[in-house]
Amino acid sequence: MTKEAFYGAYLPELERIFQELMDQAADLRREQEQEQTADRSPVEHYKGRIKSADSMLAKLKRRGLPPTMEAALTKNHDAVGIRIICNFTRDVYEVAQRFKEQNSVAEEKDYIQNPKENGYRSYHMIVRFPCGIGGVQEILAEVQIRTIAMDCWASLEHQLKYKKHVTNQALIGHELKRCANELASADVMMQTIQELIEDEREAGETA
Amino acid sequence: MKLLFAEDEKELSRAVATILRRSGYEVDTAYDGDEALRLAGMHYYDALILDIMMPKKHGMEVLRTLRQEGNVTPVLMLTAKSEVEDKVAGLEEGANDYLTKPFAVKELIARIKAMTRSREEMTPELIQVGGICVNRREQTLEGAGGSVSLNHQELELLEYFLRNAGKAFTRAQIKERFWREAADDLVVEVYVSYLMHKLESVRAKAAIHKDEAGNYQLLI
């Protein structure tokens, strides 16, 4: 089924919301590029999508929801999704703060402070956009903000989730968790080094 | 635990090996230096007991060869001589301990135990304090906010802070203890910073503080 067929009259709305979020990310990235300490853009890259009909139907089925566009837009929150990748953990929070200032946030989940059991780390925000077409008052969109390391891990974990090798599942899960720990360690260390460099630079500038 | 017992006096070898086996050790015996080297090369042993006076190759030669090959298995030398020079020579060649004949097997066993007592036995696998759990085997730091890996250096340093909670250390003191060979003490600042931030990231109750004088202190 095509997106047009599934989302119907709401597709233009979704595209508008999608573009709005992508523009916000682009602005953040552009803004940092123009700053004096320009080698420090908090947004490394960003990407987004409107969920395909197939993916949405599969997700609705998984969640035990009716396979309708209404359920997709009102009971689910990632018909529109954008992912922002940052260099350092501190940047993730900076970007999150900026998004909060510019949008109406329905919910926030900090999986960096509270990683999932399997090791997943990211910052999730559910942003609401007014709609007013038909019976839908508002449409929710999901913003995921994470570091490069977290993104790399999440992609791999995603592969595991959708391939069920019953025998290896436990061992691979355990080793994935170990990777998550090591990547988290690297993130902390890189942040520390970055701050040490910044301190030295500032000290040098004021001296 | 598996031992290699190299002694050319067969009666003595049989007697000692029997007692060692009864004490729970697995024992391989060798009656000359060549055989000792051959077995040491083929199997993993937790400790080697080498008589100095052996035919074909004497104990010191065997020891020297093993150490040159990079074999770090604990070695206890046996000898009929009790000259200080021999003891010193053996220990300097890389032996871990020395026993002169005649010896009580009880003492031999006690020395084997002391020699093979691993660092891991002496320090617990888990350290749980200050809202965190440090797992030495997995090399992880776990707190209310998830877990993060620690490299070997961080592990040693964190353990040191935890064991000395409340005590303030200067950068020089930490450098002396862990980075004696380093060119300067900046590495201490870097590693303490790593630990500070890793503790924060897992939301530990324990935290490392730096005072105006630049001293570091872990508080729980």
Question: What confidence tens digit (pLDDT) does each residue in B71-96 have?
Answer: 889 999 998 877 788 788 888 999 99
For chain B positions 33-72, those within 8 Å of chain A (CB to CB) are: none
Q: Residue B142: its pLDDT value, please?
A: 96
pLDDT recorded at residue A34: 61
User: Of B1, B99, B2, which Cα lies nearest the Cα of B50?
Assistant: B99
Quote the DSSP letter at residue A51. P
Residue of A88, A89, A112, A185 to mutate, interface with B, max B Cβ within 10 Å? A185
Q: Which of B145, B147, B196 sits opposite A113 (nearest CB)?
A: B145
Instruction: Report chain A residues whose CB lies below 8 A from the CB of B194.
Output: 188-189, 192
* B114-173 residue pLDDT tens: 999 876 666 778 889 888 999 998 999 999 999 999 999 999 999 999 989 999 999 999
CATH class of A3-148: alpha beta
Q: How far apart are CA B177 and CA A143, in angstroms?
A: 47
φ and ψ at residue B82, rounded to 5 degrees: -125, 20
pLDDT of residue A91: 94
Mark which residues 171-190 of B lie under 8 Å from A by CB: 189-190
Assembly ipTM: 0.84
Main-chain dihedrals φ then ψ at residue A142, nearest 5 degrees? -105, 130
> In sequence order, what are the residues at sequence separation of 6 or more whose Cβ sits closer than 8 angstroms to the Cβ of residue B213?
B170
What percentage of chain B's residues is helix, strand, coil (to nearest 5)?
A: 45, 25, 35
- Preferred mutation among B193, B199, B200, B208 to probe A, highest tally of A CBs within 10 A: B193
pLDDT of residue B161: 94
Contact A182 B203 (CB under 8 A): no
pTM above 0.80, yes or no: no
Shortest distance between the Cα of A105 and any Cα of chain B, in A, equals: 24
Is B198 at the interface with chain A, CB within 8 A? yes
Question: What is the residue-wise DSSP string for A141-193?
Answer: EEEEEEEHHHHHHHHHHHHHHT---TTTHHHHHHHHHHHHHHHHHHHHHHHHH
Q: SS3 for B161?
A: helix
Cis before B102? omega within 30: yes
Helix (H, G, I), strand (E, B) or coil at B122: helix
Order of strands across the sheet that contains B168-169: B168-169, B216-219, B207-210
Question: Cβ–Cβ of A115/B145 closer than 8 Å?
Answer: yes
Cross-chain Cβ contact A196/B193 below 8 Å: yes
- Domain locations in chain A as residue ranges: 3-148, 155-206
Number of Cβ within 10 Å of residue A132's Cβ equals: 10
Contacts of A197 in chain B (CB under 8 A): none
Tell me the average confidence (pLDDT) per consecutive run of 10 residues in chain A, 207 residues long. Answer: 90 94 91 61 91 92 89 89 95 95 96 96 96 85 97 91 72 91 96 88 73
Section B162-188 average pLDDT: 92
For residue A137, what pLDDT is reported? Answer: 86
B214 close contact with A: CB closer than 8 A = no
Record: contact A185-B151, CB cut-off 8 A: yes
Q: In B49-170, which residue ranges form alpha helices assigned H by DSSP?
A: 59-68, 84-93, 105-116, 119-122, 152-163
A114 and B145 within 8 Å at the Cβ level: the answer is: yes
Q: Exposed, middle or buried, A144 (CB in 10 Å: 0-12/13-18/19+)?
A: buried
d(CA B198, CA A93): 17
Q: What phi and psi, each to the nearest 5 degrees, are found at residue B191?
A: -70, -35
Interface test with A, best of B140, B148, B192 (most A CBs within 10 A): B148
Q: Could you read off the pLDDT of B14-71 as tens digits, one per residue?
A: 999 999 999 999 999 999 999 999 999 999 899 999 999 999 999 999 999 999 988 8
Identify which of B138, B201, B203 has the shortest CB distance to residue A188.
B201
How far does the CA of residue A161 sit from the closest CA of chain B (Å)? 21
Which residues of B are less than 8 Å from A193 in CB distance? Answer: 190
| Cβ contact A188–B138 (<8 Å) | no
Q: Who contacts B152 (Cβ-Cβ below 8 Å, separation ≥6)? A: B139
